[in-house]
């Protein structure tokens, strides 16, 4: 028996308030790897993640996740939100945060307390935040919290992972190490990462998709400049202060 496709999207359209957000999107993810999803602000990337998670319903077309409707496959997907959007004042330790990853009713009842603890410890180790387990969230850097959120998603041992802008609040060296971690995790399961970090996307992804209401695939072996050219129609360009129209108006 062949194993079900992790993700199959056919002719998916999504309208919101009479406006077309996604138009006839088709996409197939056939196995493990790191898949980049890039595009301009408002292009529909987060909307697509929400549709894959079953939090929104398509206006037309079809999504299958491991050959099931998204809502029925939710326990197979791990979602990693942006650390920058997470309330760091929430009074809990990093380990407590990771434990919340197991709170789904089915997962909670299916596992003994011992196996839950070993899942949490393995997830902390895989995301390389074991030494920070007892730290309060308020005492973590943005990069450390982002790894904690990865550990939380890993606690359920998901068959697919979705990341929403994981490097939005981290410096270049942390961004590189987060992408390296995603590459490693992507050896065992498909990972879809939404990101505006075109340099990291070009350096690490097996396949890149560009989303601006419609979806198209970037050519193989893209560079940050070729991706910027594709989505914004211009080269990546470092402005000099003398070129700022506001400074010299």
Which stretches of the chain bind ligand ATP, using CB under 6 A?
16, 21, 39, 41-47
- Smaller CB distance to ligand ATP: residue 21 or 63? 21
Question: Which tokens belong to 186?
Answer: 């992507």
Shortest Å, Cβ 37 to ligand ATP: 9
Q: What is the largest CA-CA distance in the chain?
A: 68
- Smaller CB distance to ligand ATP: residue 105 or 233? 233
- Smaller CB distance to ligand ATP: residue 45 or 152? 45
Shortest Å, Cβ 242 to ligand ATP: 29
- Smaller CB distance to ligand ATP: residue 21 or 25? 21
The CA–CA distances, whole Å, from 199 to 61, 222, 224 equal: 33, 10, 5
Give the position of tokens 């981290």: 170
200: phi then psi, degrees, rounded to nearest 5: -70, -40
Shortest Å, Cβ 215 to ligand ATP: 11
- Please, is 210 exposed, middle or buried when counting C-beta atoms within 10 Å of its C-beta (0-12, 13-18, 19+)? buried
Shortest Å, Cβ 213 to ligand ATP: 8
């Amino acid at each position: 028996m062949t194993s079900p496709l992790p993700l199959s999207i056919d002719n998916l359209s999504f309208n919101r308030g009479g406006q077309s957000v996604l138009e006839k999107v088709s996409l197939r993810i056939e196995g493990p790897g790191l898949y980049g999803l890039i595009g301009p602000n408002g292009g529909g990337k987060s909307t697509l993640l929400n549709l894959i998670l079953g939090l929104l319903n398509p206006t037309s077309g079809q999504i299958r996740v491991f050959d099931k409707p998204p809502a029925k496959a939710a326990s197979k997907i791990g979602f990693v939100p942006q650390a920058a959007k997470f309330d760091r004042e929430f009074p809990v330790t990093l380990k407590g945060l990771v434990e919340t990853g197991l709170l789904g009713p089915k997962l909670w009842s299916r596992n003994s307390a011992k196996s839950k603890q070993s899942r949490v410890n393995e997830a902390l180790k895989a995301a390389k935040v074991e030494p920070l387990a007892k730290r309060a969230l308020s005492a973590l850097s943005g990069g450390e919290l982002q790894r904690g959120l990865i550990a939380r998603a890993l606690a359920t041992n998901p068959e697919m992972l979705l990341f929403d802008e994981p490097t939005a609040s981290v410096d270049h060296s942390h961004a590189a190490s987060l992408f390296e971690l995603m590459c490693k995790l992507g050896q065992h399961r498909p990972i879809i990462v939404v990101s505006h970090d075109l340099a990291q996307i070009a350096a690490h992804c097996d396949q890149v998709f560009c989303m601006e209401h419609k979806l198209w695939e970037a050519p193989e072996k893209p560079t940050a400049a070729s991706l910027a050219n594709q989505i914004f129609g211009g080269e990546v360009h470092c402005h000099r202060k003398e070129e700022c129209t506001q400074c010299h108006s």
